[in-house]
Structure 1
Amino acid sequence: MNTRGVGDPADADRQVLDADQVKHLEFLQGVVSRLANNSFLVKGWALTLTGGLLAFAAGSTSWPIVATALIVLVAFWFLDSYFLHQERLFRTLYDEVRRPRSTVEPFSMDPRPYADRVRWRRSAFSPTLSLFYGGLCAAHLAFLAVLLLG
């Protein structure tokens, strides 16, 4: 049972979004979802391609193939970083749109004004990307060292 009275000051703090704001937030959430899905797909392709190249290199003991696999892995890391950076920019835009008295232009899909708040380097070396790609890079470098020194 609601014990607050009519005209309670807590009601004044509650934000009521109009239909345009809700639709704008839905558009932004759609972009964030697509970027997150792209990041997931990139990780899958990175693991599949670099793993396949390493398996091929192990069969032929060819260090140039391992080096190529490492270059491919770094390219995937860069691409995944781009998607994560864009996702963070759109999340920042989302947070601005949902605020009361937001100054964001209705239906704006431009996250560039928030680029100073979200740094690409922090996205590229986030814990999740660093652990995933850093671990794969370490495995590639170890395999390369075994081929070159062994």
Structure 2
Amino acid sequence: MNDDKVKHLEFIQNIITRMNTNSFQIKEWTVTIVAALLAIYASNKNIYFVLIGIFPTVVFWFLDAYYLNQERKFRGLYNDVAEVSEKPKQIKPFEMRPDLYTDGKYSYCDSFCSATIRNLYLSIIVLLGLLFLYVKYLS
């Protein structure tokens, strides 16, 4: 493998790492904001702070899906540049073309419904909803 190809792969790997870091930070922010809203609810007993927590959770879910989608596209690009794909696309040296990866596992919908993020965000939304219903109707 020539030096240009190795450098190209390093560039792509740095982008993948950055997308992964962004995704992790979004998850951190989600948990932090929801915890803060629950702390506010605990201090003033306004049940609607629990419901407000659903909005940032959904927004961060969409944003996290975007970063996961970008990460997958760059992984596809990496595999094609490294020539480890079954049918690699022709990529010019130092070309960054995530737009070539749009269907199948590279679709936004597939990223949005991915188990790695769906389970986290859906469980937060369900728990907030159950807490709201419990406090509103059973206490």
Q: What's the TM-score, normalizing by structure 1?
A: 0.82
Q: Does 1:69 align with 2:57?
A: no
Question: How do 1:73-88 and structure 2 match up within 5 A?
Answer: 73-88=57-72
Out of 46, 59, 64, the position equivalent to 2:30 is 46
Aligned length in residues? 134
Gap regions ≥5 residues in structure 2: none
Q: Does 1:35 align with 2:19?
A: yes
- Tell me the alpha carbon deviations over residues 19-47 of structure 1, each in whole angstroms, 9 at most, x when there is no partner: 11111100000000000011111111110
Q: Which residue is 1:128 aligned to?
A: 116
Gap regions ≥5 residues in structure 1: 1-16
Q: Does 1:24 align with 2:8?
A: yes
Aligned partners of 1:116 and 1:102: how far apart in 2?
A: 14
Q: Which amino acid aligns with 1:113?
A: L
Out of 77, 82, 90, the position equivalent to 1:98 is 82
Q: Which runs of 4+ in 1 moved over 4 A?
A: none
- Alignment RMSD: 1.6
Aligned partners of 1:87 and 1:73: how far apart in 2?
A: 21
**Aligned-partner SS, 1:104:** coil
The more displaced of 117-126 and 89-98 is 117-126
Q: What's the TM-score, normalizing by structure 2?
A: 0.88
**Offset at residue 138 of structure 1 (A):** 1.2
**Offset at residue 77 of structure 1 (A):** 1.0
Q: Does 1:147 align with 2:135?
A: yes
**Offset at residue 145 of structure 1 (A):** 1.0
